[in-house]
A and B are shown apart, each in its own frame.
Chain A
């Protein structure tokens, strides 16, 4: 069996890949190749590939987040331009356009659609967020719709009797959903920037 095909190994490498989403692609590929080789060599020396052995090798290799932090710290520090002007403007646009698309899209579909497309393209070309955060961000423009449909199609899902309490819940949650999504992205970006700043100091 090839090392990288073992379920535990695949899951581990996928975690490293996700945590290093902000690393240049070439650097990420090299790190994953190095880790794969390390695991193969360690398993060859152990002489078996039982789940216990694989887990022990992965435990010794360390938490994916720890490896990702070191890899990001080895990157040359971004210039002030990269840190501020460009990425701050882009980040701000993303955080405004996505919830805006979710809100005004209800009344003005064309404008909402344009805001959604621009916001999503900026989101996926930004280096601020990892894969999971990008996927969640992509749903921000339609989050009101998802909340509304969810509460409409699944009455009693939250233990709410049909009728006006559910309507109140929809009236409160649906408009709030895009804003909450944007807050989620904002906090993720702030957390990552704080971690990067701490690593550089």
Chain B
């Protein structure tokens, strides 16, 4: 949690993290559900383990709601030994397909970003 809070304090660190998270958070959620159904609180615990994915907890629920509407996840209420029944989210076939599509595309995307970050001035240098 500490690195995340520290990052939010720098002027643009929080903004960068939040912009990046916006694009990939739903695929991280789908990936977490690959191992089996989870409830919202469990998903949030897993996400907060990676400081850059730690999000304002409550904002996960509108995201989960959209994933359900898009039929990427299914929900079911399950009794819990501790507290009230919990809503569990499970990957649907469409959810698996969306995750596979992302997993196929992601390495190229990541490599392209790494490439530009590592060699930002390549073109300019060749011109000089």
B40 an interface residue at 8 Å Cβ cutoff?
A: yes
The size of the chain B interface, using a CB distance under 8 A, is: 19
**B84, A70: Cβ atoms closer than 8 Å:** no
**B58, A62: Cβ atoms closer than 8 Å:** yes
Q: Which residue from B59, B66, B83, B86 sits with its C-beta under 8 Å from A67? A: B59
A81 an interface residue at 8 Å Cβ cutoff?
A: no
- Most chain-A Cβ atoms within 10 A of its Cβ — which of B39, B57, B63, B87? B57
Binds B, one of A27-35, A135-143, A176-184: A27-35
Closest to A61 in B: B58
Taking A30-B65, A38-B40 as contacts, is the C-beta distance between A45 and B82 under 8 angstroms?
Answer: yes
**A70, B59: Cβ atoms closer than 8 Å:** yes
A61 to B65, CA, bound (A): 16
Taking A41-B84, A42-B41 as contacts, is the C-beta distance between A34 and B59 under 8 angstroms?
Answer: no
Q: Which residue from B56, B61, B83, B84 sits with its C-beta under 8 Å from A34? A: B61
**A66, B40: Cβ atoms closer than 8 Å:** no
**A74, B82: Cβ atoms closer than 8 Å:** no
The size of the chain A interface, using a CB distance under 8 A, is: 26
A125 an interface residue at 8 Å Cβ cutoff?
A: no
A64 to B56, CA, bound (A): 10
B65 to chain A, nearest CB (A): 6
Interface residues of A (CB under 8 A from B): 3, 16, 27, 30-31, 34-35, 37-38, 40-45, 60-64, 66-67, 70-71, 73-74
Could you list 13 A-B pairs, sorted by A, with CB under 8 Å? A16-B58, A34-B40, A37-B40, A37-B84, A38-B40, A40-B83, A44-B80, A61-B58, A62-B56, A62-B58, A67-B56, A67-B61, A70-B63
Instruction: Kindly list the 6 A-B residue pairs having the minimum CB-CB distance in the complex, ordered from nearest.
Output: A44-B83, A62-B56, A67-B58, A71-B62, A70-B59, A34-B61
